[in-house]
Amino acid sequence: MHSERLQALFEPVFNDIVGRSTVTDRFVDRDLYQIFVTTLWANVVLDPEDVGIAEVDLEALFDVVNAEVCRVLGPDNDLKSSFRFINGKSGERAMQEARLTKNHKDLLLYFSSMMLDPEGHRQWMAEVRENLNKSR
């Protein structure tokens, strides 16, 4: 699927995220926005077909989401920096203030691990699988 089609498909979602994280007419709460956009990405990656795209479209969608994050938060920001925020102390505080459930928080931290250290995440998951197999 082309970027233009993905942009059009996700435009209502992007608008909703901005709307939900807007505090005044022109002020976007950066913390809330980053929670929402990382949640969007995690959910789309978990089940791309549920939102009407194929798994092969994820790479193009990643670029579309990055462009949207840049547009809203500024040129030095992207999806990866949003996951970096989630993984830090400020993100922890923001998730507490937003009253995320433990499952929601764990999901975002899991995806942060994948985004920020893919190789370390693969090794960690291999260890988890190995320990599960040993315990069976």
Domain ranges of the chain: 3-135
Would you state the pLDDT for residue 121?
A: 63
pLDDT for 65 equals 97
- The amino acid occupying position 85 is F
Q: Which helix (H) or strand (E) holds 78?
A: none
Counting Cα atoms < 13 Å in the Cβ hemisphere of 45 gives 16
Average pLDDT over every residue of 6-17: 96
Does residue 132 carry a pLDDT above 80? no
Q: Could you tell me which of 62, 17, 56 has the C-alpha nearest to residue 36?
A: 17
In the predicted model, what is the mean pLDDT of the chain?
91
Alpha-carbon distances of 43 from 22, 27, 51, 66, 75, rounded to whole Å:
22, 26, 9, 16, 25
Q: Select the highest-mean-pLDDT range: 42-51, 62-71, 114-123.
A: 62-71
What predicted TM-score, i.e. pTM, was given to this entire model?
Answer: 0.86
Spatial separation of the C-alpha atoms in residues 45 and 82, rounded to whole Å: 16
